Structure 1
Amino acid sequence: MAGRRTDTRERIQQVALELFAERGYDKTSLQEVADRLEITRPALYYHFRTKEAILASVIDRLGESIDELVGWAKEQPRTAEARLEILRRISGLMEDQWRPLFRFAQVNQGAMRGNPAGERLQNGVLSMLSLLSVPEAGAVEQFEARLAVFAVILGSVPFLFDMDLDESERAEVALRVASKLISGS
């Protein structure tokens, strides 16, 4: 039974993020989320009482995965291969679970501003930015390391690039660009 409850919560989160990105956070009602899921409002309320609760739960899940990534990355040696693996893992997480949330955040910047969930997302991104930095590196290399993380993240935002690429091709290009940024070539 717990598995079904988790699956339902994840479906609610996914559909809500889709609607928030399509219609905007402020213009989306819980009734619209329930309608898209083909469930009743009371069934939706069983899992989430408010849009804010849905968003907070999604951000919390993202934050946990960022924390796990950061913890793992801090245990790695500061080698070129480890830095590439960090980029690959960020890219993989974008593909698996982060893309809808980052799209939502891009479209709904106003809703994120001043929201505790928005602050949690911002802090998570900031903690990832430092993962590729080498302390003794110069300013240019530090900047490139941070840009590499953004390259991977922005590669998942389709409207930023007028290119005839599907999501996986765009993600691969973004990862290649990010790899070049941290390799200095």
Structure 2
Amino acid sequence: MLDRDPGSTRTRIQNVALELFAEQGYDKTSLRELSERLGLTKASLYYYFKSKDDIVQSLVDDLLTAVDEVVGWTRGQARTPENRRELIERYAKAIRGQGTPLLRFLMENQPALRVHACGDALRERMRVLVDFVVDPRDPLPVQLCGRMAFFALHGAPMIMSDIEATSEEVFDAACSVALSLVPDGDAERPPA
């Protein structure tokens, strides 16, 4: 993480931006509204971020730093059922540290991220992680389970937003579901 001090202006801007993006959507949120909500002048806001894209990039950069540690762990690891589960646990811990608002933003703003450079970087990392968990020789239902493990982690904050539970309880449930979906390596594979 670049700056995890919750009292820092940078982190405060990121947090309030995520609130506004969740309330109004990324496209409908302006820097003027953000500066007003923060009680900052636009000039003060521009000192930290020149645009909404810069804010999103900073959020994704922080996430990528955490995810890159997990990607690095996969190098040299055998794709065993145990290591697949270990990857899910490491990834879950990495994204949990980023917080529920960021996960909701990423899930709810897929169109905005498709055209943003940081979206490409996230997709690249996810391909590495999915390739570690999913064996292309497995039957399609088994491959889908491996991919759904990641979706359970990403989508739980949005899917469970109407449930009376804390963010931690929702994320714990998502981790449990994700681990239950990880292929165990016992699938019947067609001959190579």
Q: TM-score band (shorter)?
A: 0.7 to 0.9
User: Partners of 2:40 and 2:135 in 1: how far apart?
Assistant: 50
Q: Which residue of structure 2 aligns with residue 141 of structure 1? A: 142
Distance change >3 Å, CA 95–CA 19, structure 1 → 2: same
Hey, what does 1:130 align to over in structure 2? 131
Tell me by how many angstroms 1:46 deviates. 0.8
- Provide, for residues 36-87 of structure 1, a one-character-per-residue CA deviation record: whole Å limited to 9, x for no partner: 2222221111111111111122222222322221111233333333222211
Give the residue type in structure 2 aligned to 1:116. A
**Structure 2 residue 70 is the aligned partner of structure 1 residue 69:** yes
Match of 1:94 in 2: 95
- Alignment of structure 1 residues 36-75 onto 2, 5 Å: 36-75=37-76
Aligned residue pairs, count: 182
Query: What SS class does the counterpart of residue 156 from structure 1 fall into?
Result: helix
Normalised to the residue count of structure 2, the TM-score between the two structures is 0.78
CA distance in 1, matches of 2:159, 2:148: 18
Q: Secondary structure at the match of 1:125?
A: helix
Alpha carbons 1:74, 1:131 under 8 Å: kept: no
Q: Find the aligned partners of 1:129 and 1:165 in 2 and give their Cα distance.
A: 29
Report the Cα distance in structure 2 between the residues aligned to 1:162 and 1:37, rounded to whole angstroms.
27
Relative to structure 1, the CA distance from residue 157 to residue 125 in structure 2 (aligned partners, 3 Å threshold; closer, same or farther) is farther
Kindly indicate whether residue 13 of structure 2 is the aligned counterpart of residue 8 of structure 1: no
| 8 Å Cα contact 2:14/2:59 also seen in 1 | yes
What is the CA–CA distance in structure 1 between the aligned matches of 2:26 and 2:77, rounded to whole Å? 38
In structure 2, C-alpha distance between the alignment counterparts of 1:183 and 1:43, rounded to whole Å: 50
Alignment-derived partner of residue 172 in structure 2: 172
What is residue 81 of structure 2 aligned with on the other side?
Answer: 80
What letter corresponds to residue 70 of structure 2 in structure 1? L
Q: Is the 8 A contact 1:66 1:128 kept in 2?
A: no
TM-score computed with the length of structure 1 as normaliser: 0.81
Cα distance change, pair 171–141 in 1 and its aligned pair in 2 (3 A)? same
CA-CA distance at 1:183 after TM superposition: 5.0
Calculate the aligned-residue CA RMSD, in Å: 2.8
Paired residue type of 1:142: Q
Q: Distance in 1 between matches of 2:124 and 2:183?
A: 26
Matched residue of 2:59: which SS? helix
Structure 1 outlier segments of 4+, above 6 Å: none
Distance in 2 (alpha carbons) for counterparts of 1:111 and 1:182 = 29
